[in-house]
Amino acid sequence: MNAVDFDPVVAAVQTNCHIADERHAGDMTLCIYLLQMREFYRWERGLAFGAALPRDAVGAWIAEREMLWASLASQDFVPVPCGPGATSLDPFDVDAVNARLRPRGLLYGAGLVGTERPVFFLAELRGQERRDGLDVLTAGREIARGLLAPPAMLGGGARGPVVLREAALARWCWEKYEAYTLRPVPGTAFHAVVKAYGLDRDFEAALPRCLAEQGETLVLHELGEYQAGCQLGPHWATMRLALPTRRADLYARAVRDHLADLTVTLPTLLDRGADAALHFWFANFDGVRALLFPALQDAYAHWVHGDGGAALRRASDLGVIHFAHLAQEALTLHVQADVLSGQAVERLLTAPSAVCPG
């Protein structure tokens, strides 16, 4: 089916992408914003990875895009015109929209990344499978998207499905590799990734294997997120919404990420002997996650030097215990329903005692 047939749907989804970008593009640092805009320009123009970008044209495009965003300020998200009898559907009713679009080979997504930050996309549906009681949906070529394009997410709240966006993942891999080429450092985790996949010999040829393995790593993480969500219960989401600062939310997200990866992702990759995927995971182990568990990086070093993963398994076991206890402490503070509970949770998550000793 030709994408032209879906122009009203594409237009609506892309409009919602623009509205979301208008509201949240300013949340990025200037450096990250410009890097993301460069890749967004490549996507809109259908340019290959690494294609030379004309500076003047990109600058003019950014100015035009920011003017478009300004014109959409304060506008509500628009319905998606694909309901029965040509009616329009709520843009956040993902199940209903997909029920209309999936038989036509399309996959729609609308979810929150972080606290109340919506992300929309429309793509060709490339695959579907069932894993651990959840649907895993793979999106291929993307027809509509916004500036922020997370490669994977757990949609539909805690019940799934897991959505893997292969096109977004490919661009994310390219961005990582492009940054590495500007300052290659031997001995780093990403240097090991580059050599394991042969990205430096032929990026395009190496990309399919990289996508397959990194896509699986992301799916494992989302399956771990699902398990963590079942363990933490519905109060975890309401607790995050009650946190007083973005910093506090970053720490809460890192705690849940640790529970997901220490329970599912890292043990599974170790069991499979997925060396390249493990290097890639640690190439992205940074920010608040690294601050909360610095000993995990030391365990990785032991694995690199040939301990067979023993230190990583020990660290994972200890980390699960530590972060599960920390999460339960945070939930206990939250359910006290005190007006200052959000501040108390932030103090707990950012205290030195929140760091896992390993």
The domain tally of the chain equals 2
Single out the residue of 309, 292, 291, 287 nearest to residue 300, CA to CA.
309
* pLDDT tens digit sequence for 160-179: 799 999 999 999 999 999 99
Split at pLDDT 50, 70, 90, the class of 358 is: confident
Residue 174 lies in a domain: no
> Around Cβ 175, how many Cβ atoms within 10 Å?
15
Residue 67 lies in a domain: yes
- Residue 4 confidence (pLDDT) above 60: no
Verify that 97 and 204 share a domain, yes or no. Answer: no
The end-to-end CA distance of the chain, in Å, is 54
Phi-psi region of 329 (alpha: psi -120 to 50; beta: other; left: phi over 0): alpha
What pTM, to 2 d.p., does this model score? Answer: 0.91
C-alpha–C-alpha distance, residues 93 and 140, integer Å: 21
Residue 182 lies in a domain: no
33 contact partners, CB below 8 Å, separation of at least 6: 25
Verify that 245 and 128 share a domain, yes or no. Answer: no
Averaged pLDDT score across all residues of the chain: 92
Verify that 213 and 144 share a domain, yes or no. Answer: no
Verify that 199 and 155 share a domain, yes or no. Answer: no
C-alpha–C-alpha distance, residues 227 and 222, integer Å: 9
> What residues make up the domain containing 123?
3-165
Is the separation of the CB atoms in 81 and 12 below 8 Å? yes
Verify that 92 and 220 share a domain, yes or no. Answer: no
The domain boundary, picked from 149, 165, 181, lies at 165
* pLDDT tens digit sequence for 224-263: 999 999 999 989 988 998 899 989 999 999 999 999 999 9
Verify that 156 and 236 share a domain, yes or no. Answer: no
- Residue 325 confidence (pLDDT) above 80: yes
Mean pLDDT of 60-86: 92
Verify that 150 and 214 share a domain, yes or no. Answer: no
> Around Cβ 35, how many Cβ atoms within 10 Å?
15
* pLDDT tens digit sequence for 102-152: 888 999 999 877 667 889 999 999 999 999 989 999 999 999 999 999 999
Residue-by-residue DSSP string for 308-322: TTHHHHHHHHHHHHH
